[in-house]
Chains A and B, each alone.
Chain A
Amino acid sequence: KAGVTQTPRYLIKTRGQQVTLSCSPISGHRSVSWYQQTPGQGLQFLFEYFSETQRNKGNFPGRFSGRQFSNSRSEMNVSTLELGDSALYLCASSLTAGRETQYFGPGTRLLVL
Chain B
Amino acid sequence: KNEVEQSPQNLTAQEGEFITINCSYSVGISALHWLQQHPGGGIVSLFMLSSGKKKHGRLIATINIQEKHSSLHITASHPRDSAVYICAVRQGAQKLVFGQGTRLTINP
Q: How far is the CB of A42 from chain B (nearest CB, A)?
A: 5
Q: Give A residues with C-beta under 8 Å from B.
A: 33, 35, 37, 42-45, 48, 55-56, 58, 88, 90, 92, 97-104, 106-107, 109
Tell me the B53-108 residues at the A interface (CB within 8 Å). 86, 88, 90, 92-101
Is B52 an interface position by the 8 A CB rule?
no
* A–B pairs, 22, beta carbons within 8 Å: A33-B95, A42-B98, A43-B101, A44-B98, A45-B95, A45-B96, A45-B98, A90-B41, A90-B43, A92-B43, A97-B93, A98-B90, A98-B93, A99-B30, A99-B93, A101-B33, A102-B33, A103-B45, A104-B42, A104-B43, A104-B45, A109-B41
Residues of A within 8 A of B99 (CB): 42
Q: How far is the CB of B73 from chain A (nearest CB, A)?
A: 20
Residues of A within 8 A of B88 (CB): 43
Residues of B within 8 A of A97 (CB): 93
Given contacts A106-B41, A106-B42, contact A99 B31 (CB under 8 A): yes
Most buried by A among B44, B86, B93: B93
Given contacts A42-B100, A107-B41, A107-B42, contact A99 B50 (CB under 8 A): yes
> Are B90's CB and A99's CB within 8 A?
yes
Q: How far is the CB of B50 from chain A (nearest CB, A)?
A: 7
Residues of B within 8 A of A48 (CB): 95
The 4 A-B pairs of least Cβ separation, nearest first, read A104-B43, A43-B98, A45-B95, A98-B93
Most buried by B among A43, A92, A98, A100: A43
Is B19 an interface position by the 8 A CB rule?
no
Residues of B within 8 A of A92 (CB): 43
